């Protein structure tokens, strides 16, 4: 069967310019074996995620094609909801629409302090009862408190393979949306997906991560721009294998690239990461055999590139290579560290990086190029050039 191409325009009025029109197009192409949905210039205002499907590429017209998240609203639940319920009773059902998003959130009645989230789609509304496309899988009771809101990721992929998104902008409308945890939501959020590709996207003002991928293999993020997001810019999440993040720009996020738990054989190459509030690149628990190469990391609020404190041998980010990066003006007024190795990571290779601090020296700031923590095992630190720092290499390991 030949690949199908379907083109949408927000100006024709034939299909509309919302999530329902986009989803109808994607589902139509997927049902016929896959292909391409092309989006002409214009703004598509979404009241629910665009759910990606197997074998479908969604391609816009560059920055002139904008997927914009609608304003969020929230209302309390007015009746207890159990883990098998297919509807929730809410104080204000007028916030919701069939086909729109509903985000149910509350504290667990049984595990103190544990927050629970259910991401669903509204299928019907009957009085104050909002019916869901899938039953709940947690208990949302009134005593701990529970709410229903119109929160969602702009684009979602769950259990999808060989799909992607290219050449468009995603406006997260952060001013009118609450901050969402990047383990549950993002501008683009995918989970349990394989061979997903995101190219030439511009994600901005997401009150969440920019792109978050959980347990996804062979992810490609290429020539994307992520700016002014509250969470992580690029988040290859727990269990991701072989993610490739190449030639992207990340600016003014909490962290630039965050390797979550168990990310392996990943590549972060030729990215520009600027003005992130905490770390430019962060690598941690079981993030082994990754390569961070030829990136430029500027003005990170705490550390340019961090190997996070881990949980001990066997749970450390071993055998990673950090080479040919330029790291500039990291850290705040108290301490400035370009590359910081904490925990017990083994067999790291840190070579041929250039760490620069161009800011005027102060009496309160201590500037370090590369710091090796006391637990690091057999690090190979060679060929690095450090400029404008008091200490080029600080090795905290016990003398042997």
The predicted pLDDT at position 2 comes to 61
Question: What is the spatial distance between Cα 119 and Cα 115, in angstroms, rounded to a whole number?
Answer: 13
Q: Give the residues across from 227 on adjacent strands.
A: 204, 251
- Is the separation of the CB atoms in 30 and 53 below 8 Å? yes
- Is the separation of the CB atoms in 155 and 69 below 8 Å? no
Tens-place pLDDT, residues 151-160: 999 999 999 9
Residue 14 has pLDDT above 60, yes or no: no
Share of the chain above pLDDT 90, in %: 91
Count other Cβ atoms within 10 Å, centred on residue 334.
10
Tens-place pLDDT, residues 109-147: 998 888 999 999 999 999 999 999 999 999 999 998 899
**Average pLDDT over the chain, rounded to an integer:** 95
Tens-place pLDDT, residues 204-261: 999 999 999 999 999 999 999 999 999 999 999 999 999 999 999 999 999 999 999 9
DSSP 170-234: EE--GGGS----TTT-EEEEEES-BS-EEEEEEEES-SSEEEEEES-BS-EEES-EEES-SSEEE
The predicted pLDDT at position 23 comes to 97
Residue 355 has pLDDT above 90, yes or no: yes
The predicted pLDDT at position 173 comes to 98
Range with the lowest mean pLDDT among 273-282, 371-380, 391-400? 391-400
Tens-place pLDDT, residues 284-316: 999 999 999 999 999 999 999 999 998 888 999
Tens-place pLDDT, residues 161-188: 999 999 999 999 999 999 999 999 999 9
* pTM assigned to the model: 0.96
Residue 360 has pLDDT above 70, yes or no: yes
Residue 12 has pLDDT above 80, yes or no: no
């Amino acid at each position: 069967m030949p690949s199908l191409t379907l083109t949408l325009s927000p100006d024709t009025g034939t299909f509309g310019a919302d999530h329902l029109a986009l989803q109808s197009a994607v589902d139509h192409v997927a049902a016929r074996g896959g292909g391409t949905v092309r989006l002409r210039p214009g703004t598509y205002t979404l009241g629910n995620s665009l759910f990606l499907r197997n074998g479908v590429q969604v391609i816009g017209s560059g920055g002139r094609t904008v997927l914009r998240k609608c304003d969020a609203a929230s209302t309390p639940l007015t009746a207890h909801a159990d883990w098998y319920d297919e509807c929730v009773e809410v104080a204000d059902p007028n916030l919701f629409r069939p086909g729109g998003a509903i985000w149910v959130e509350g504290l667990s009645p049984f595990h103190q302090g544990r927050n629970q989230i259910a991401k669903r789609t509204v299928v019907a509304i009957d009085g104050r009862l909002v019916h869901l496309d899938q039953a709940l899988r947690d208990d949302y009771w009134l005593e701990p408190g529970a709410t229903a809101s119109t929160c969602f990721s702009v684009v979602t992929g769950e259990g999808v393979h060989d799909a992607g998104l290219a050449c468009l902008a995603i406006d997260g409308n952060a001013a009118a949306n609450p901050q969402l945890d990047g383990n549950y939501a993002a501008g683009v959020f995918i989970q349990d997906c394989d061979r997903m590709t995101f190219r030439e996207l511009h994600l901005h003002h997401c009150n969440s991560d920019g792109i978050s991928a959980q347990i996804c293999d062979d992810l490609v993020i290429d020539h994307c721009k992520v700016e002014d997001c509250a969470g992580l810019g690029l988040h290859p999440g727990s269990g991701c294998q072989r993610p490739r993040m190449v030639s992207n720009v990340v600016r003014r996020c909490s962290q630039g690239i965050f390797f979550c738990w168990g990310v392996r054989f990943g590549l972060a190459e030729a990215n520009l990461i600027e003005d992130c509030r905490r770390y430019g690149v962060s690598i941690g628990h079981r993030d082994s055999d990754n390569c961070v190469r030829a990136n430029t990391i500027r003005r990170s609020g705490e550390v340019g590139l961090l190997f996070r404190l881990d949980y001990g041998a066997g749970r450390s980010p071993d055998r990673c290579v950090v080479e040919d990066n330029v790291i500039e003006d990291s850290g705040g007024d108290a301490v400035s560290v370009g590359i910081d190795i904490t925990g017990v990571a083994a067999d790291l290779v840190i070579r041929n990086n250039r760490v620069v601090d161009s800011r005027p020296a102060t009496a309160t700031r201590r500037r370090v190029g590369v710091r090796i923590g006391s637990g690091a095992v057999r690090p190979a630190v060679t060929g690095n050039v450090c400029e404008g720092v008091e200490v080029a290499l600080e090795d905290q390991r016990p003398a042997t």
